[in-house]
């Protein structure tokens, strides 16, 4: 499987997915 | 001087150094990496001598300044401990602070030591240089990825609509 970090778009999409996951984590903590 | 005044100065410093740091991070990934892939070996050598070291200097000290001003801000507000422990409402800025801290450590412990090998500032074989270039590239891309949630939580800690994060 290709590393998503090798492309800018893969990096940006990974960043958005990570944002959503961490948002749910923080929402559960607050 | 009142704590709120100190906090404003620390926030100002955090923005100035943060823009320097993340601006250069995006410059490296959006402009410099494709540029260096496209140019001749001579142009690349010139860039490694006169352009990249200067950009990396402001990049790594921008990272240091951003992190220090951020810590001072949290200290002034009296929430440094609870932010890093992700407690209560401070979990929002705390998540941003953790992401920023990981990115800061990434700059000083992975990107910069490997870039020194790539630039020839420390001795390295051709194979070591090639491995160092790949590691620095992946660490830099990791920081671009982490910057997206980091900026969301930094902005969200002061500007999220009421109730967005619960609480």
CA gap B73, B70 in Å, rounded: 5
Q: How confident is the model at residue B111 (pLDDT cuts 50, 70, 90)?
A: very high
**Cross-chain CB nearest to A30 (options B91, B99, B145):** B91
What are the phi and psi torsion angles at B120 (to 5°)? 80, 20
State the residue for tokens 């500007």.
B159
Cβ neighbours, 10 Å, residue B2: 8
Closest among B93, B151, B24, B115 to A12, alpha carbons compared: B151
Closest among B104, B135, B105, B102 to B117, alpha carbons compared: B135
**Cross-chain CB nearest to B89 (options A15, A18, A30):** A30
Q: Which of A7-11, B65-69, B95-99, B158-162 has the lowest mean pLDDT?
A: B158-162
**CB-CB under 8 Å, B86 with A26:** yes
Q: How confident is the model at residue B167 (pLDDT cuts 50, 70, 90)?
A: low
**CB-CB under 8 Å, A26 with B148:** no
What per-residue confidence (pLDDT) applies to B66?
Answer: 98
Residue B102, pLDDT above cutoff 70: yes
**CB-CB under 8 Å, B149 with A22:** yes
ipTM for the complex? 0.96
Q: How many CA atoms are closer than 13 Å to the CA of B39, on its beta-carbon side? A: 14
């Amino acid at each position: 499987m290709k590393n998503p970090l090798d492309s800018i778009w893969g990096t940006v999409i990974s960043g958005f997915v990570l944002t959503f996951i961490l948002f749910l984590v923080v929402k559960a903590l607050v | 001087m009142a704590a709120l005044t100190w906090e404003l100065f620390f926030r100002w410093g955090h923005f100035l150094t943060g823009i320097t740091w993340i601006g250069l991070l995006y410059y490296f990934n959006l402009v410099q990496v494709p540029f260096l892939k496209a140019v001749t070996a001579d142009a690349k050598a010139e860039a490694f001598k006169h352009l990249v070291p200067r950009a990396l200097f402001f990049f790594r000290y921008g990272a240091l300044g951003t992190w220090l001003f951020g810590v001072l801000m949290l200290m002034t507000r009296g929430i440094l401990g609870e932010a890093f422990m992700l407690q209560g409402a401070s979990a929002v800025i705390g998540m941003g602070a953790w992401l920023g801290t990981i990115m800061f450590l990434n700059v000083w412990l992975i990107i910069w030591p490997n870039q020194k090998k790539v630039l020839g500032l420390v001795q390295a074989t051709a194979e070591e240089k090639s491995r160092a270039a790949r590691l620095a590239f992946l660490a830099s891309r990791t920081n671009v990825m982490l910057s997206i949630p980091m900026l969301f939580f930094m902005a969200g800690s002061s500007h999220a609509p009421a109730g967005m994060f619960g609480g």
